[in-house]
Amino acid sequence: MDDVKFGEILLPGDEEEQESQRKRVRKRFWPVLKRAIRQIPFSRDLVAAYFCAFDPRTPTRVRGILLAALAYFVLPLDGIPDLFAVVGFSDDVAVLTAAFAAIRGHIREDHYVDADRALMDGLEEAG
């Protein structure tokens, strides 16, 4: 995947697109994370990004970028299908890494506190 593809994936989208992604991510995030947790080297950051994306205090553009990246993560078929062990989530990791770089500094400490709580509670949605 090249930078152009990342740019296309990470477009924040308009209000309608963000709402569509919000619904998709809210529905599929936790089940996909449970399957991927051993293959995603930064699960805590990923869960904190989830809480940041759903935080109304997060700027709209940042929420849009995070929702786009999280929506890509939860898609069952993407660049490399997630059913392939180990390499299946490698494209997701690349997209998420690009998203984190684009929104650096917007994931706050309280998002990490929520992430830690959710991870300790066995990945049950905490919020």
3-class DSSP state of 57: coil
3-class DSSP state of 32: helix
0.95 exceeded by the pTM?
A: no
Question: Over the chain, what is the mean pLDDT?
Answer: 80
pLDDT at 77: 57
**DSSP label at residue 77:** S
Asked if residue 74 lies in contact with residue 29, where contact means CB atoms within 8 angstroms, the answer is yes
Tokens representing 94 are 């690349």
Domain ranges of the chain: 3-120
| Nearest-angstrom CA–CA distance, 86 and 107 | 27
**pLDDT tens digit sequence for 99-123:** 999 998 999 999 999 999 999 887 6
